[in-house]
Amino acid sequence: MANEIYIASHRRSDRNRVLSDENFIDLSNADRDRCIYRIISLSRLFELFSSCENVFVKPKRWDDPFENFILRSRIRFPSGEIYSHGNREAIYGQCWTLQSASDAMWRIYSPHGNAVRIRITPRRLAQSIVGSSAVRPHTVRIGKVSYLGQAALVRFARRSFKTGEFDYGAMGRTLLVKRLAFRHEREVRALIFASVDEAAKSDSDLLQCPVNPHALVDQVMLDPRYTAENAESVKKRIFSETDFHGEILRSLLYAPPPRLLFDLAMPKQKRPKRQSRLEAPQDWV
């Protein structure tokens, strides 16, 4: 059985609950204020506002078998000793997208045509997480996913811990790579490294993080397959059950294009070419 290796700063204390650059991976300062989106069921939206909890899940619950495969692998040290990653079962994540309008995303995450899309920014998401007393700020990472071919992904995996660095940044990066087949998702992920001891005591694959949803979400977009009449009914229900005062819109992704009127210009008739007095007629040549 392999020994386990843990992140060195595992028990570090956080007195100052503020964001720093270490909380972000491959997101510039401007990127942190760009809009990101997540499609969720209507019932999940109501749950977010009623419970005031943002739910994160262990990566092993994600569909792609390549998720978390790096941290599920083992490490052999020069001494020949083999270790596994002790933190692998104490990581929780949440997936967002930079893609504001996508037929594929609606069809994948709203298969019945009745979901909603919420809008936030990476900075607001990070602030909502580190503001929770349940999470240590230095254990939070929010980053942009890179998409690699399968061979490149394996090469990335082999290089991940070559330097012997086992910190939250290095481990976070292993969860920010996916295969090219998923590049349409344009994903941004939030990762929380929980206490290994606390994760071991819990039977759940979920981590509930207290949040003020009104400070986090600034827009709700309804599935484009809602009829105009149904959309109005759902809007009223959202207002009634959540007291949300941000924008509630219906996606117009499938709205028919406007009927256009094209003006055709008649081609101008060419005038016959005048024959020069000095030019000999063709039959003289």
DSSP code for 19: -
Is residue 36 within 8 Å of 98, Cβ to Cβ?
yes
- E strands, the chain, are 3-5, 24-25, 36-40, 53-57, 74-76, 82-85, 91-97, 116-120, 140-144, 146-148, 177-179, 187-193, 206-210, 219-222, 247-250
- In the predicted structure, residue 265 carries a pLDDT above the cut 90: no
Instruction: Convert the pLDDT of each residue in 14-44 to its tens digit.
Output: 555 678 899 999 999 999 999 999 999 999 9
Instruction: Convert the pLDDT of each residue in 41-92 to its tens digit.
Output: 999 999 999 999 999 999 888 888 777 777 777 777 778 877 776 677 788 9
In the chain, domain spans? 22-61+89-148+181-254
- In the predicted structure, residue 124 carries a pLDDT above the cut 90: yes
Residue with tokens 């490149």: 152
pTM of the shown model: 0.83
What is the CA angle 172-33-107, rounded to 5?
A: 75
What's the token pair of residue 183? 């590049």
Is residue 191 within 8 Å of 140, Cβ to Cβ?
yes
Residue spans of alpha helices (H) in 80-180: 103-109, 122-130, 150-159, 168-174
